[in-house]
Amino acid sequence: MTEVVIGVDLGGTVVRAGAVDQGANLLAVSQAPIEAHLGAQAGLARIIAVIEKTLRKCGNGHLLGIGFGATGPVDRQLGAIQNPYTLPGWENVPVVAPLSEHFGVPVRLENDADVAALGEYWAGAGKDVRRLYAITLGTGIGTALIYDGQIYRGLDGSHPDGGHQIIDPTGPACYCGANGCWESLAAGPAIARQAREILLAFPSSRVLDLAHGDPNRIDAQMVALAAREGDALGRAVIEKAAWYFSLGLVNIITLFVPEMIVLSGGVMKSVGLFMPAVEAAVNAHNIMVPASQVRILPAQLGDQAGMIGAAYTIYQNG
Amino acid sequence: MTEVVIGVDLGGTVVRAGAVDQGANLLAVSQAPIEAHLGAQAGLARIIAVIEKTLRKCGNGHLLGIGFGATGPVDRQLGAIQNPYTLPGWENVPVVAPLSEHFGVPVRLENDADVAALGEYWAGAGKDVRRLYAITLGTGIGTALIYDGQIYRGLDGSHPDGGHQIIDPTGPACYCGANGCWESLAAGPAIARQAREILLAFPSSRVLDLAHGDPNRIDAQMVALAAREGDALGRAVIEKAAWYFSLGLVNIITLFVPEMIVLSGGVMKSVGLFMPAVEAAVNAHNIMVPASQVRILPAQLGDQAGMIGAAYTIYQNG
């Protein structure tokens, strides 16, 4: 019977469970909407159902353990999710104890950015890279450092949150408490907001068409699509976001000088729009640290990185 | 015969050598001006003379090795100093090979911020702290992370340079390539420059008295002294510098979440002027990471940290 680990990837909208063998192969996947507003009890039942479905799909392999990557903050010591921000109502929701009891196996809980980075380290773009920094640019900006194959943690095992580094103190207020943090300037919602703010100056912009004439429906994907088509508003907004993104990335390099940075996330599907700004910034900040030697690559595992990396937390720790 | 390690601290103006025993006691110290402009050969002769003088002072104890902390950048692999910025003309100056040959002992070369942090870890404020971040605020801003008792290094052993993280991209241009890096906004020269820039608006400021009426003689110490005396210009400038300093410090917390941050350097002699801004900023950025749990303390070893930490690199590595 095949030995498998279940890797769970819990996001703000969907939970997915993958069965992963020790060769990092994803043998089966199931998913379901999490509908966080229905409450944590209902959510947990749904998570269990998704795991069971995955196990059935791969012929009920011998389950070694469950690795769980959740949209943070998570409390690893309590084994609980503490995330009322993107999982409304999910404050102090234990997952390790109930899953461990239900399935009779060890369960490890980690931040989603950490497990995605670990997946890239184990089986993706960053195999065996000594200092691997991962940046996920989507609705927010997630960051993680894998150092000598281990998740870098802060005090009490906390997860550093590079997406909220301050880049421009004259920038917009963020829920994190800062003005002009990286996420507030370069992530998806910032791109959409900036497009809405300058819409009047570009009355014939393609972005408004894509949003069916409703400014409130504008999202980052529309702005990026318009930019690729040469739309002036789209290009102006993406250029500015890419510039801010490059400043935060240069700071990561200045502070960590990792061998490699892997980029992922929804907005990074438009990586081609961001890379010219990133390359220019890296070359302009090459004096104090060897910035241009840092390899900056798209992540390889796409949206499977979280499940694969979550599974790796079990293989890695026996 | 006492066994000693010599710890060398090479700054932009002075070189000091201390004899340190394995209990972290500083048994003897000598120093000399480095006068970098006289050339690297003359400088090296002076460094050797200072080491020999220190050895004589402590009764020619048995020399185990030499730890060398130098104002960076340094090339650890070549064992050479690469610092034309604060040691004019010192580009590619080998120190490890000539010292090792002259004294017949192992020599280790490190960045000065790294060895000062290591000194605080070994014998100062940060004893046995798992993640110890050190910030030196003086003519520049130096940073170092001691992680599990080891200097955190970047790719190829490079030294990350947190003093040049970007804090405000509308800020002044720095030699590092950035606009509005931390050092350009909060270090000594930035404080002096800001005082000069607003001098006309404060014709009766105490700062100009302290500089004997010559704006070009204004330095950060004068501005801090005036601020402590309640001078309006001094207070305005220090308040702004302290605010910028606090933003960079909050970024360090966001990105590393260390158990402790130790502060040192010339400007930190005015630490009382900086701490209100630092505490306010830490409390305002406590949502994504447990910022208020980070202990922020003055360094304990003062200007001996570099020598003691440099010596520790030998004791630590056998």
pLDDT of A121 strictly over 90: yes
The answer to whether A254 contacts chain B (CB < 8 Å) is yes
Of B73, B167, B254, the CB nearest to A164: B254
Largest CA distance in chain A: 64
- A153: chain B residues, CB-CB within 8 Å: 257
Largest CA distance in chain B: 64
The answer to whether A125 contacts chain B (CB < 8 Å) is no
Closest CA to A238 of A210, A260, A262, A219: A219
Report ipTM (2 d.p.): 0.94
Q: What value does the mean pLDDT of chain A take?
A: 94
B285:A156 CB<8 A: no
Per residue in A169-205, pLDDT tens?
999 999 899 999 999 999 999 999 999 999 999 999 9
CA distance A12 to A164: 18
In this structure, is residue A108 part of a structural domain?
yes
Closest CA to A163 of A175, A153, A155, A152: A175
pLDDT of A219 strictly over 80: yes
pLDDT of the residue at B87? 87
Q: How close A311 gets to chain B, by Cα (Å)?
A: 25
In this structure, is residue A120 part of a structural domain?
no
The answer to whether A239 contacts chain B (CB < 8 Å) is no
Give mean pLDDT, residues B94-113: 96
Q: Which residues is B75 bridged to in the sheet? A: B80
Closest CA to A229 of A265, A266, A185, A273: A273
pLDDT of B146 strictly over 90: yes
- B294: chain A residues, CB-CB within 8 Å: 155
Question: At A38, which amino acid appears?
Answer: L
Give mean pLDDT, residues B164-182: 95
Give mean pLDDT, residues A276-284: 95
Q: How close A30 gets to chain B, by Cα (Å)?
A: 30
| Mutant choice from B151, B255, B287 vs A, greatest count of A C-beta within 10 A | B255
A131:B155 CB<8 A: yes
A257:B170 CB<8 A: no
pLDDT level of residue B23 (50, 70, 90 thresholds):
very high
Do both A217 and A181 map to the same domain?
Answer: yes
Do both A190 and A290 map to the same domain?
Answer: yes
| Mutant choice from A155, A179, A243, A289 vs B, greatest count of B C-beta within 10 A | A155
Do both A186 and A262 map to the same domain?
Answer: yes
State residue A8 phi and psi, 5-degree precision. -105, 135
pLDDT of B72 strictly over 80: no
Q: What value does the mean pLDDT of chain B take?
A: 94
The answer to whether B258 contacts chain A (CB < 8 Å) is yes
Please give, one letter per residue, the 3-state secondary structure of chain A: CCEEEEEEEECCCEEEEEEECCCCCEEEEEEEECCHHHCHHHHHHHHHHHHHHHHHHCCCCEEEEEEEEECCCEECCCCEECCCCCCCCCCCEECHHHHHHHHCCCEEEEEHHHHHHHHHHHHCCCCCCCEEEEEEECCCEEEEEEECCEECCCHHHCCCCHHHCECCCCCCECCCCCECEHHHHHCHHHHHHHHHHCHHHCCCCHHHHHCCCCHHHCCHHHHHHHHHCCCHHHHHHHHHHHHHHHHHHHHHHHHHCCCEEEEECCHHHHHHHHHHHHHHHHHHCCCCCCHHHCEEEECCCHHHHHHHHHHHHHHHHC
CB atoms within 10 A of CB B220: 26
Alpha-carbon distances, residue B95 vs B10, B76, B227, B315 (angstroms): 11, 10, 42, 19
Q: Which residues contact A47 (CB under 8 A, 6 or more apart)?
A: A8, A10, A15, A17, A34, A95, A99
Do both B48 and B145 map to the same domain?
Answer: no
pLDDT of B318 strictly over 80: no
Residue A260 near residue A132, CB atoms below 8 Å:
yes
At B249, which CATH number? Answer: 3.30.420.40
Do both B80 and B192 map to the same domain?
Answer: no
**Helix H segments across chain B?**
40-57, 96-103, 112-123, 182-186, 188-197, 206-210, 220-228, 232-256, 271-284, 305-317
Per residue in B186-196, pLDDT tens?
999 999 999 99
- B250: chain A residues, CB-CB within 8 Å: 166, 178
The answer to whether B84 contacts chain A (CB < 8 Å) is no
CA distance B181 to B169: 8
Alpha-carbon distances, residue A172 vs A143, A166, A186, A245, B152 (angstroms): 20, 11, 11, 15, 33
CA distance B60 to B65: 13
Do both A268 and A130 map to the same domain?
Answer: yes
- B153: chain A residues, CB-CB within 8 Å: 257
Give mean pLDDT, residues B71-83: 88
Of B158, B176, B290, the CB nearest to A155: B290
Do both B86 and B36 map to the same domain?
Answer: yes
pLDDT of A47 strictly over 90: yes
Of B155, B164, B258, the CB nearest to A154: B258
CA distance B110 to A217: 54
pLDDT level of residue A61 (50, 70, 90 thresholds):
confident
pLDDT level of residue A43 (50, 70, 90 thresholds):
very high
pLDDT of B233 strictly over 80: yes
Of B162, B252, B286, the CB nearest to A177: B286
Q: How close A179 gets to chain B, by Cα (Å)?
A: 10
B166:A162 CB<8 A: no
pLDDT of the residue at B286? 87
Do both B150 and B294 map to the same domain?
Answer: yes
Alpha-carbon distances, residue B237 vs A214, B201, B250 (angstroms): 47, 12, 20
Local structure of B55: helix, strand or coil: helix
CA distance A98 to A81: 13
From chain B residues 63-82, the ones with a CB under 8 A of any chain A CB are 73
Do both B164 and B294 map to the same domain?
Answer: yes
* The pair of three-digit structure tokens given for residue B33, joined into one six-digit string: 């001006």
Structural domain total, chain B? 2
State which residues form the domain around B288: 128-299
Give mean pLDDT, residues B114-124: 97
Per residue in B32-53, pLDDT tens?
999 988 999 999 999 999 999 9
Do both B38 and B154 map to the same domain?
Answer: no
Do both B71 and B196 map to the same domain?
Answer: no
The answer to whether B170 contacts chain A (CB < 8 Å) is yes
Closest CA to A237 of A209, A273, A204, A265: A273
The answer to whether A176 contacts chain B (CB < 8 Å) is yes
Q: How close B145 gets to chain A, by Cα (Å)?
A: 10
Residue A178 near residue A170, CB atoms below 8 Å:
no
Do both A250 and A136 map to the same domain?
Answer: yes
- A168: chain B residues, CB-CB within 8 Å: 168-170
Give mean pLDDT, residues A140-145: 95
- A176: chain B residues, CB-CB within 8 Å: 285, 287-288
* The pair of three-digit structure tokens given for residue A228, joined into one six-digit string: 């690729």
